[in-house]
Structure 1
Amino acid sequence: MSLDLSKLAKELSASSSEILKSPLDSSQVIHSLISIAENIEHAASIISTGYSNTRPYLKAEVVEQLLTKHPLPSMPSSWNVVSADGSHIDIDRHLPVPCSLINMGVCKLTYGETPLSELYNEPTLKINERDLCITNPSNNNEVELLTGQLLSLERAIIEIGTLKEAVADIKNNLPTLALVDGSLILWGLSGQAYKTYVREHFIEHGLLHHMDGIKKIADNFPLSLAAYISFPRTTEVINSIRASICEKSSDYCGEHCNSRRTNETPCSLANNLLDRDLFEIYLSAGERSPIYRSQSSIPHLYYGKHQIYFFYINTGQEIGRVEIPKWVAENPQLLNLSHSLIFDQCKRGQGYPVAISESHEQAVLNGKDRELFKNLVLQFMQRPGIRALTSQKERSKRSPWL
């Protein structure tokens, strides 16, 4: 039976008065917060935003300034932008054999004197136990099935690996931006009780291995690695300002405040604000914020020389968050390359990086693709000599009787 839209409309209508409540105009509050933040001494903000887990919120570590703006830098005359994105089909327990599919889409664009584009995708089937599971190298009886959140993490690692392979094929040695959608922080591992071998599979042997490879390629020509997050809901910069103006100890804050709000002044100026709320007012089109260092526990504990930094950029259409590894953040040429080329990509893509959009189109698996994949697996399992069993629930879905 299809979705009953009339019932849903009644639910929405009943809730609309609460949903559509307009909060008081926050622009005046944000301007006050900006004025305060711009007058905080740099040394004091560094101390206030140093790594600490006693406050009830995640804050960013100040690197350049707590709050300042950087104009759009000049662009190279010719350049490359390379992006990789992925989509996947998870294990279906109703199929006769456990299997999953990860499809990688790649977009390689060259701009300038000799423009060029290359689009392709690479599907990877996981059907053997060695591909479907993470095995503890110290005990091969200890395995973790790659499904659900773990399969999403696996896809993220393969995206970075595919990006590394794509930039390794570049022959023109032009300045290049290697770009992925989403975060360079493996948030799916945060707060989880995964065993060490699982974490090492994704971080040390996965993400960091590929980032090492990209950094090595960057020795040959200007190459920046960045991740773009559209419409971010993060609050790390707001929380850094909050920590910098807080008149109480971090222990007091931990006992009396929460991650989004406080009753204490002047910190309450930051209540319920997002970073993008601040930078929508503070940044003009093309400008970026200072760079900040992430204090997420995952990179802080495990990323080593690839610590994650980030900045916000006004693309002209939205405030985007850009994450970069330490070696990009500390290289002014690569930092400016990231800034200028991401703005250009968003301008060409009507607010969103064109290379990411194109790689996504190559990777996306729609409903028809998913059904074709399922049918292909079922057809293969019907070959002579293969014993194929499927659930009665699956048969029922394929043969409705009413």
Structure 2
Amino acid sequence: MQLETLLANITQHANLVDAYGATHLPIYNTATFDHKRQFPNHKNYDYSRTDNPTRNALEDIFTIAENGAGGVCTNTGVGALALLFDTVLKSGDTVLVERDCYGGTYRMLNILLEKQNIKTCYADFTDAIEVENVLKNNAITLVLCESPTNPSLKIVDLKAVAELSKKYNALFAVDNSMATFASQKPLDLGADFSLFSATKFISGHGSVVAGAIIAKTDYWAERLCYFSNANGRAQSPFDVFLVSLGLPTLVYRMKTQEQSAIQLSEFLLSLSEVVEVKFPGLPSHPQYELAKRQMKIIPSVLTITLKSAEKSEQLIRNTKLFGEKVSFGTSDSRLEIPSKMSHATYSEEDLKKIGLTHATVRIAVGLENVDDLIADIQQALKIETSKCV
């Protein structure tokens, strides 16, 4: 079954028992369930922190979409990350993380996990030799990366990292928030876990914060469920419903946004004010061929560096269609200076290591007409239209 078909009618494909044949996900907004009134010979529900029919249905769909064994919908994307750490790590363990990781991941590793005596090693995951050297010289329990990375937009060869992780007996998890299962399926490429923030492309409307984590094996799927119940990270039924509203249009939204991002990137390359444009959908990107091979859709996020921090501030201040907002993957276009927002927790030294400056701007392309977005950037930078051919 193709993904578009699965997502078009999720109640048809989820393991959901509904007496009325609802064509969209019913909201079971209840704390507890009466054992005496439930359907005979079907799953018995007790307490919504443990299991809930609305949440379980979405978990079924995500599991099918990721080709996994099972998983958990969490209250946020960071909640999915925290659930992964709770499930697989213990005091004294070491995690290997891509150096260019999400600011929330960096914060959790360097503040929360450090308190639990969990060590973190970093590497450039586009360099297989560097990754193997870290694995060889450290007892790594968990390898974690994003692809594309955020905000440098490097593409990691997930199959190659999965093979290295297996060679050194480490678990491998991929934060698939930017690509989503509409573009790539980490479990098919050898990962043990695929997790994502459903706040972004999957829900698509900026109306809810949400996350999910899917395991490749029954053992780890069961452990995720156990720890989710134990630490209360499961998502509420109403938030599950809000996430589900974006699913039927996910593939079509991402394809439309991809084309707009390509056009916008090409326009930005023509500007003298722009020093660099990073977008995996451009042939100039160093991992362009890997991106085309590994992903069906290039996510509509690009990173540019302007001539100065003042120019970046000018762009942020003067655009009318681009909000100054964190996150990406929604219907509205957004700008941010990562060093001040999503990656504000990074030290200046670590920002330099991943190539971020105060002149760097991340652009998340939405569903507006791309000609309007181009015109907005032109007026924001006070560029004469005739100069932009």
TM-score, length of structure 1 as denominator length: 0.27
